Amino acid sequence: MSTLALKGPYWVTVRQYRRTLWLVGAAVAATLAVIGALRIWEAQDRASGSFPYEHRLGYDMLRGAMEQLSHGMIALPLLVGAFVAGPLIARELESGTYKLSLTQSISPTAWLRSKLATATAVALGATLALLAVYRLGWTQVSGSWGFHWGDSGPYEATGIVLLAYALFAIAVGALVGQLIRRTLVAVAATGGIVGLALLTLGAFRWDFLSVETITGPAKENASLLNTPGDGMFVDQGLLGATGERLSGWFCTPDTPPGAACRPDEQVTAQYLDYHPGSHFWPTQLIESGILLALAALALYAAFRVLRTRHP
């Protein structure tokens, strides 16, 4: 057992932040308990035979909890990056406590490596556990409004991209913490950078792969096209005689009385752009690759800064 025990700076890091580690474990366990209990409740309601009409409180509670968990999963990289940048790196540099470690025959590189390795192990372990918990509830709410595989929240929590975001946040936190050396400022700066990455990639991720398009008739009594299967809707509209896309719409049996409709003689067909379900994993892999490349650059810069300031 002694050979498996943590040694040197790794033991010091775990000992120093043991309360944080216990808090992470407790949060994961509490999340599992809540989602697991609501999942059992929902299954009992469904087995009663009256689901989803009279007795669907279990489903409603599960759905509400999954919505909150979706938001929490998106915020997870922000928390990871903020902790690495602030308490883990910047606070020790700001207070000077890192000097004690360097007097124990530990190189600056070993000091930083031990902290990042510990943070990475805990962050990836907790993220994997939460992904598993999310899957537990996802099986019952998937496909409903707000829980499509392409929606923000479910997209991050049902694939591998959240792990890449966690690694990116750790690398950015390591770099920013050393550059700023002020705990609160480093936390804010890292949160801003990771948040910007979340927003930017979230806005452009569905441009990585080309959409697929279906067309149909655009006559007065024609019905609107529907997204095939479990595809993700992107755009819908009309096609002119020369194939150009037009604004406006045409009347359908479901059009409200008095609605403005484009005269059907100006159009030849309607179109619908969508991403099929088969685009989920390629998009996840592309986005993860971008994040891992950025994480590698940030990590390289972090160790370069360390060696420059502490040769």
Tens of pLDDT, residues 194-248: 999 999 999 999 999 999 999 998 876 778 889 998 999 999 888 888 888 886 6
The Cβ of residue 89 has, within 10 Å, a number of other Cβ atoms equal to: 30
* The one-letter amino acid at 107: S
Rounded to 5°, the CA angle 39-44-49 comes to 130
The pLDDT > 70 percentage for the chain reads: 87
| pTM of the predicted model over 0.85 | yes
Residue with tokens 């915020």: 75
Regarding beta strands 212-216 and 232-239, do their DSSP bridges make them parallel or antiparallel, or are they unpaired? unpaired
Q: Does the pLDDT at position 62 exceed 90?
A: yes
